[in-house]
Amino acid sequence: MSKYILHTNSLTKNFKQQVALNKVNLSIKKGSIYGFIGQNGAGKSTLIRIVSGLANPSTGSIELFGHSNERELIKARKRIGTIIEGPALYPHMTATENLEAHRLLKGIPGNESVEKMLVLVGLQDTGKKKAKNFSLGMKQRLGLGIALLGDPEFLILDEPINGLDPMGVVEIRELLKKLNQELGITILISSHILSELHLLATDYGIIHKGELLEQLTVEELHEKCQQYLHIKVDNPEKATTILETTLSTNNFEVMPDGVIKLFNDVDNPGKVSSILVNEGLIIEQFMPMGQDLESYFTSRIGGAHHE
Amino acid sequence: MSNLIRSEWYKLKKDRSLWALTLLLILVSVLYPLLILFGGGVEVVKVSDIYQLTALGGNDLVLRIAPCILAGFFISSEYSIGTMKSMAASGNSRIRIYFSKLIVYTIGAILIALIFPVVMTGAGAIYFDFNDMPGLGYFVQTIGLTILYTAAFASIMAVFATIFTDTGKATGVMIIFFLIFDSILYTLSDFIPLFEHVANNYVGKLFLDIVNIDAYNGGEMVQLVLVPVLTFAVFGIIGSMLFQKKEIK
């Protein structure tokens, strides 16, 4: 049994002259919350639509739960729940009726699953109120309830927190965490609200102009986003010796251009600079640096811009 | 596939356009014979005349308009409100999704198409003391053919609704198409012989002939039955092929 729920193999999608996805090799581990990051038009929704069976790839293939042929993929999709570009609701139906229509569609026996889902997403008191009169947050929660019908093993959520108020965002985040941690549901979540993804995701994929630039775990991201002191001196070798002896640390990296990244004493730059100066080194550059997910993402796609 | 049909049936029962059309047509069916009774100045009214001339004759227009509206709301709206995405991603094959939708939509169209022949004739029978009722055999045969021709129309309309994916656009285009297509076909048939053949075997033309079913021989009857059956099958296959290739947005 593969440890991956989803794997795409050189997935490419062309729209006439435009390349929407270019040889994307994406892998999502079982049990992870995969934050799919990209600007509008980067290719997130296109990939999600192909995985969900709404569009066909131009070339390449997908493997879902280890299945890759068309017939098996259709069956495998019974094990996923989706919200794609907003919740798909029947506006003239109530929450119960919407869930009932989807319960029948998925062939789930008994209507106790509908009651259970209404409670889970907090819509049990909406009564005869039609979905068209729901707030955006209620619509999103109902969409999530529909996606969760049939106990899916893999949730695909395209911009599920778009337009939600802060309380709504927190509610959805907590619900998704609970589903992942308590029920082991793997989640692919695309969003351009990176601060929110940062609180949720265990893995990340960065897509830009149809190309998957990078996949990394949250640990790798933290490592890359770690705060450090950026030090450039006239004699890097001497500086590293001073750091090892005087500051008693080897928690630094020397970059090919001689820049030293010191990960200790980030909060005490004065102490570090005075030690180096006292040892007779000339400091050319000295500044605290570091990134959050947003700046890391910007630097990645910024880099891609210049390539 | 039964789960898909059950889901579609559930949605059809909740479809407001179906109920609005049904109520409107029932209202017309009940009131129109009353107009004849009170305002027509006719001394002896035959129920068989009401059945043939008004219920079956008037049903031609109903069949060209009402199922278009239903198709717009029941099929095209699934695309415009985005629910077709969850259907397509539900782990059911596209062919099954299409045919379950088509079957249930056809049932809805048939319910609408039977209101004039059944309710208007029933109302007429009550108002005119069951005077000269249509023969049972004739009634059953024409009802059966109405069902077949409605299914054929529904199959064509489902293709339109799948192509246009917007309720208003789909309904508008379909109504215009079904109102003027016959005229276009007859005009073309004056110039191109092939179109004459199409015009003579088109469901829109043959449907008008079912009122004269008593006068037809065996061969004509076969044609009258076979054409709508083939139309339903051919357009069902065309629609399902289109749906399979369709990128759902």
Cβ(A239)–Cβ(A259) below 8 Å: no
What is the average per-residue pLDDT within A219-225?
A: 80
Would the CB atoms of B85 and A85 count as touching at under 8 Å? yes
Would the CB atoms of B10 and A86 count as touching at under 8 Å? no
Cβ(B70)–Cβ(B174) below 8 Å: no
pLDDT class of B190 with cuts at 50, 70, 90: confident
Chain A residues whose beta carbon lies within 8 Å of the beta carbon of residue B83: 88-90
Range of the domain at B25: 2-245
Contacts of B156 (CB under 8 A, 6+ apart): B203, B231, B235
- The per-residue pLDDT of chain B, averaged, comes to 90
Give the pLDDT confidence score for residue A307 in this predicted structure.
35
Checking if the pLDDT of B156 tops 60, the result is yes
Checking if the pLDDT of A304 tops 60, the result is no
Give the pLDDT confidence score for residue A306 in this predicted structure.
37
What is the average per-residue pLDDT within B105-112?
A: 96
A196 to A122, A168, B52: CA distances (angstroms): 21, 12, 68
Cβ(A225)–Cβ(A292) below 8 Å: yes
- The per-residue pLDDT of chain A, averaged, comes to 87
Q: What span, in angstroms and rounded, lies between the C-alpha atoms of B239 and A32?
A: 39
Q: Which of residues 120-149 of A touch B (CB under 8 A)?
A: 146-147
Give the pLDDT confidence score for residue B43 in this predicted structure.
65
Type and span of the H or E element at A231: strand A228-233
Q: Quick check: B96 contacting A, CB < 8 Å? A: no
Checking if the pLDDT of B201 tops 90, the result is no
Q: Quick check: A49 contacting B, CB < 8 Å? A: yes
What is the average per-residue pLDDT within B138-150?
A: 94
Chain A residues whose beta carbon lies within 8 Å of the beta carbon of residue B84: 88
Residue of chain A whose Cα is closest to the Cα of B82: A88
Give the pLDDT confidence score for residue A261 in this predicted structure.
86
DSSP lists the bridge partners of residue A4 as A29
Which token pair is A168? 């709504």
Would the CB atoms of A106 and B91 count as touching at under 8 Å? yes
Q: Between A and B, how many CB-CB pairs are < 8 A?
A: 81
Q: What span, in angstroms and rounded, lies between the C-alpha atoms of A136 and B181?
A: 44
pLDDT digits (tens, 9 = 90+) for B80-108: 999 999 999 988 999 999 999 999 999 99
pLDDT digits (tens, 9 = 90+) for A234-248: 999 999 998 888 888
Q: Which of B6, B14, B82 sits opposite A93 (nearest CB)?
A: B14
What is the average per-residue pLDDT within B36-56?
A: 80
Give the pLDDT confidence score for residue B42 in this predicted structure.
62
CA A124 to chain centre: 30
Cβ(B148)–Cβ(B225) below 8 Å: yes
Strand, helix or coil for residue B40: coil
**Gap from B162 CA to chain A (nearest CA, Å):** 14
**Gap from B72 CA to chain A (nearest CA, Å):** 14
DSSP lists the bridge partners of residue A253 as A261
ipTM at complex level: 0.86
Q: What span, in angstroms and rounded, lies between the C-alpha atoms of B88 and B72?
A: 19
pLDDT class of B136 with cuts at 50, 70, 90: very high
pLDDT digits (tens, 9 = 90+) for A79-92: 999 998 888 899 99
Q: Quick check: A185 contacting B, CB < 8 Å? A: no
Count how many domains chain B has: 1
What is the average per-residue pLDDT within A285-298?
A: 79
Q: Which of residues 87-106 of A touch B (CB under 8 A)?
A: 87-93, 97, 100-102, 104-106
Q: What span, in angstroms and rounded, lies between the C-alpha atoms of B83 and A78?
A: 16
Backbone angles phi, psi at A96, to 5 degrees: -60, -45
pLDDT class of A1 with cuts at 50, 70, 90: low
Give the pLDDT confidence score for residue B83 in this predicted structure.
92
Contacts of A282 (CB under 8 A, 6+ apart): A233, A234
Helices within A53-202 (DSSP H only): 70-76, 95-106, 112-120, 136-148, 166-183, 194-198
Listed range (A19-33, A101-115, B27-41) with the worst mean pLDDT = B27-41
Q: What percent of chain B has pLDDT over 70?
A: 98
Q: Are strands A80-83 and A154-158 parallel, antiparallel or unpaired?
A: parallel
Cβ(A32)–Cβ(A184) below 8 Å: no
Q: What span, in angstroms and rounded, lies between the C-alpha atoms of A238 and A244?
A: 10
Q: Are strands A252-254 and A228-233 parallel, antiparallel or unpaired?
A: unpaired
Q: Which residue type occupies B41? A: G
Give the pLDDT confidence score for residue A90 in this predicted structure.
95
Checking if the pLDDT of A303 tops 60, the result is no
Cβ(B175)–Cβ(B65) below 8 Å: yes
What is the C-alpha R_g of chain A? 24
